[in-house]
Amino acid sequence: MAEEPGNRTTSRAGAPARAHSYLRPTRLLAEGERSKRHPSVLAEAEHRAASIQLRVADAITSFAGSMNFVYLHVALFAVWMLVFEQSPWPTLTLIVSLEAIFLSTFVMIGQNRQAAFQQVKADHDYTAQEQLLVENTDLTRAVHELTRQIHERVLTDGASAAREAGAAAQPTQGDPAIDSEI
Reduce the DSSP state of residue 167 to 3 states and report it: helix
The region of weakest confidence among 39-48, 114-123, 138-147, 154-163 is 39-48
CA dihedral 111, 115, 120, 123 (to 10 degrees): 170
pLDDT of residue 15: 42
Mean pLDDT of the chain, nearest integer: 75
Average pLDDT, stretch 93-112?
84
Structure confidence at residue 70 (pLDDT): 83
**pLDDT at residue 164 in the model:** 81
Phi-psi region of 157 (alpha: psi -120 to 50; beta: other; left: phi over 0): alpha
